[in-house]
Structure 1
């Protein structure tokens, strides 16, 4: 079974256990990420094409590593003007291994990694809850001493 996914402004044809480098995706090595922008899913002659995406299709992948590509030099020169400029860029990329291609709203066998925003909100809530519980106890203790 194969799928065509869209990520980082590019399209990739993937199958299970494929290893590919995509534009940077949030996550550490070992995390599971989901690609929900699936353009086509199929096997052999049985191919389902989305408009624009296939409903209920998800591709899960495991982050293998985060890295940088080789340096690309952008060199500009104006002849006979003693003018030149060189700039380098190392594009960030993520190596992922495709785990599963799911259709029909099926759930992945491994849970996807929580987004950074969700983790930050959860930790903020965890920090605030004990502080709220401690305040009434202090107020009650102060009322008993009076």
Structure 2
């Protein structure tokens, strides 16, 4: 996987989705009969999804840059964990914010995405420690 290109696409989508959340989502929710408190809560949920999508995009960019100097299966696995985790975590938060309360049960699945993103960051750390152990310069 070209993690630099993937990060660019994921980051661009995160900005576009975040812009929709800031500018289009409030009107959408109001038109669908949600009161001010429900709109605020759904906007917060949506914003959390957009934030974590951007964090994942930045981490994927780091994975891509690191792999330019030292190809690493650990870094590749980290990229996949970050992408899959953010798809689940952010995607389900977007769905919860946009869909009716009948879909609130999706919230039970969201932590799986979070755990996958945590695994991605741990794999980045393990790859970094492995490079140091092998004597690869960190500078």
Q: TM-score, normalised by structure 1?
A: 0.22
Which has more helix, going by share of residues? 2
Which has more strand, going by share of residues? 1
